[in-house]
Amino acid sequence: MKPIRRSHSSQRTRGFSLLELMVVIVIIGIAAGAVRLAVTGNDPVQELEQAAGQYAYRMERIQDQVLLSNRERGLIFVQDGVYQLEWREGDEMLSEPEIVWSLYEDEKVWGVSEDIQLGLTLENQWVELNQALPTEQFALEPHVILLPSEDYTPAYDLTLSLTSSINDEVRVRADGFNRPEVLRDER
């Protein structure tokens, strides 16, 4: 008996290789991302909300540092951000004031782009913000003082708005006792 030979067909059933499948998946992902960006559009207030959220987060971290150090610190607001201040007792012999405030760090603890305009209200009183920190000796005075008890004084509202539009704004409400809260206002 002769063994039966099976003829092998030169045609094989071919599928996609793993590499080809991965390339297709990447292309579909890129297309889906482009469609999502085109459909959702850019909400200009979203940038304000992000900046306000970053501010609230940063202030929570600073308040934690104040609690741990058991020493008051100050916040001074300028048109493009916030600086942290520390204090020491003044020296009468040098004709210094009773309390002398100085920068805690040389850099801003939080800042905004030039597209964003800041407004500050301290206990319902609007405050004009300077372009930059005062340069005169003993001129640094905090707008807000952070206390080791996790309170701060006075209560304040920080308003963020776009310089190109006054239709929308985002506020950070700080009532003096609770952590800062981000609120979106529709005008």
26 SS3 class: helix
Split into its structural domains, the chain has a count of 1
Confirm whether 28 is domain-assigned: no
Domain that holds residue 107: 44-186
Domain membership flag for residue 15: no
Q: Are 82 and 109 in contact (CB under 8 A)?
A: yes
Residue 121, in any domain of the structure: yes
Q: Is residue 12 part of a domain?
A: no
pLDDT of residue 105: 84
Q: What is the block-wise mean pLDDT of the chain (187 residues), using blocks of 10 residues?
A: 59 74 87 72 79 94 93 95 94 92 90 91 94 90 94 94 82 91 74
Instruction: List the alpha helices (DSSP H) in 102-157.
Output: none
Q: What is the CA radius of gyration of the chain?
A: 29
Q: Is residue 38 part of a domain?
A: no
CB 143 within 8 A of CB 76: yes
CATH number of the domain that 167 lies in?
3.55.40.10
